[in-house]
Structure 1
Amino acid sequence: MMNIEKFRQARHERRTAVVKVPALAAFFDEGEKPELTVQMLTGPEVAKARERITRNAVVEQLIEKIVSEKASSKIEAIQQALGLSDDVPTDLVYRIAVCEFGVASVDLQQEDCVKLADICPTTFYEITSKILELTGLGQVAPGESSASGTTGE
């Protein structure tokens, strides 16, 4: 049987890992290793990432009702820059949010994650897959190894 008191008293911290990103080496300062530290998502962050899928669809419908034909191309460009378009698969919308919430070593905004997915899709998917893996493993007790290692080459 689960010891609920032990569960309630336990303290945990986010699981993290280092992901090697050699394809992004040009964007690191000289002498720095092309690596990003990623972290698992919390429950609220997972929920926010999933809500992005719904919000993407709602924003698309709202914009269609508001804009005229003349402005639609500008609106489409803005939507695509933010990853908010019906042209964007739901998995990508979700992973853009995962990237935004899960990269810990640099403050990536939504637009940065969209650009990363566009210019370096394999690296983007490696990063987000690692974040999702860590999320599935859950948090660790302080001082314990996150046992998630380094990925990439």
Structure 2
Amino acid sequence: MEFDIQKFTGTVFRAREEDVEVPDLAPYFKGLGDQGKPVWRVRGLTGAELAKVNEAKERNRARSAIADGLLSSQGEAVTAAVRELLGEGDAVPDDLAKRIEMLVIGSVAPECTHQLATKLAGAFPVEFYQLTTKITQLTGMGGEPGKPKRSSSKATSAPPSSSAT
């Protein structure tokens, strides 16, 4: 069977998205009401984004090596303080650093910062891993053929006027 290069290169792909229910985070969602379910919307990553996620592991190791080099002659209290300042109190596992980056990039709603992802990993590790596992699954499925979604529900321009003037 032959791969149809023209069909593939002519297809517009968009990131796959999916809602992940996070019931234990319900107290932190505004306006759910009685029937609302707390959901975190995530998406699959592009190749470049996946590479950035994979580099997070290397950045994590580099920070640790730099801290070790700078602090090799310092006392334990100073070493611990600098490590906390660098955001790696006790050594951050590579998988965690990678998943934090993944959640930051792959979160659609709510938008996620490194600080939020780190807090979520510490306070709600099961939900954190569920979200990052879903991002991995969506990434593995590849892009979804179709037109990209509009960034807003508002039309960019009005239809042409039917009057002659």
Distance change (3 Å), C-alpha of 1:119 and 1:86? closer
1:103 CA displacement? 0.9
* TM-score, normalising length: structure 2: 0.78
Corresponding residue number in structure 2 for 1:116:
120
Corresponding residue number in structure 2 for 1:20:
21
Moved over 3 A (4+): none
Out of 135, 141, 148, which is 2:139 matched to? 135
Deviation string for 1:62-118 (max 9, x for gaps)? 122224335322122233xx4x46622221111111111111112211121111011
Q: Which runs of 5+ in 1 are unaligned?
A: 144-153
* TM-score, normalising length: structure 1: 0.84
Corresponding residue number in structure 1 for 2:80:
73
Report the aligned-residue RMSD: 1.9
Report whether the alignment pairs 1:63 with 2:67.
yes
2:14–2:143 CA contact under 8 A, matched in 1: yes
1:56–1:86 CA contact under 8 A, matched in 2: no
1:13–1:141 CA contact under 8 A, matched in 2: yes
- 1:104 is paired with a residue of what secondary structure? strand
Alignment size in residue pairs = 141
Which one has a larger percent helix, Structure 1 or Structure 2? 1
Higher relative contact order (CA 8 A, sep 6+): 1
- 2:41 is paired with a residue of what secondary structure? strand
Q: Which runs of 5+ in 2 are unaligned?
A: 148-165
* Structure 1 Cα separation of the partners of residues 40 and 132 of structure 2: 11
- 1:41 is paired with a residue of what secondary structure? coil
1:60–1:85 CA contact under 8 A, matched in 2: no
Corresponding residue number in structure 1 for 2:159:
none
Corresponding residue number in structure 1 for 2:54:
50
